[in-house]
Structure 1
Amino acid sequence: MNKIPLTVAGAEQLRTELHRLKTVERPSVIEAIAEARSHGDLSENAEYDAAKERQGFIEGRIKEVEGTLSNAQIIDPKLLDADGRCVFGATVDLEDVDSGDAVTYQIVGEDEANIKQGKISVSSPVARALIGKYAGDVAEVQAPGGVREYEIVDVRYE
């Protein structure tokens, strides 16, 4: 299986989620199943069906997180020596060439991407356009509304 790139913070987030799933979510769903079973006939027991469905979701997520962590290639952006180049883990300040709007993104793994936190997946169109470029370069991003151009203002490794 291919290695999955993760930042140190992203790996820690997944470990925290895995711990919560195993120590909080799994026991509570087992309790809910036991409670629903105690009500008798399982064939028409909505609580039982809901608890079993939730259990399936939790077990699936546990397997998914364990798989991601076992195949993770953890990269610490602070230890990168990319000479100012946009690479995985870098935080990039951009300016939209047309509108002048400024945005900041960190290029992260798919499992830790969250646009509201300014974290974009390494496989996203914006990140693919940025990888390998330096401050002062202009990256062309193919967006649904056409090509957008972003000037790279600064590249940091935090």
Structure 2
Amino acid sequence: MKFAIGSDHAGYELKEQLKKYLISKNIEVLDVGTNTPVSVDYPDYAEKLGKLIQENKVDFGILICGTGIGMSIAANKMKGIRAALCLIPEMAALSRKHNNANVLVLPGRLVGYELATWILDAFLNSSFEGGRHERRINKIKSLEERK
């Protein structure tokens, strides 16, 4: 399993912590930045991470900004990206099981490291259930094709 991880300045500290956490679990991590707490524009990092998923260079992604809202909006503009902003572990598990989320979005200013690891673990330990959910994912895909 290979993850990409990215953040803006507000998510930088949590990104660095979660990168180490993933590595400790023997998960390969590709860091798309930012690499300092200096102010940057979150859409740039959502795009870098999204392209890696689109090009099948990574399996999943984690994006972090202050509230998680900006990263979610930006990432979900990209074809094939299903980014889920998760505040509790149950949301992360259901985002994988029901929505086949491929990007976990976290709010760097609203969750601490411990809660973030619980959310990440729920994301890691869940998988898409298919079935009735597959039909809904296909409808999302058809929305992406419309102009």
Please tell me the TM-score bracket, short chain as reference.
Answer: under 0.3
Task: Give the number of the structure whose residues are more often strand, by fraction.
Answer: 1
TM score, norm. by length of structure 2: 0.28
TM score, norm. by length of structure 1: 0.26
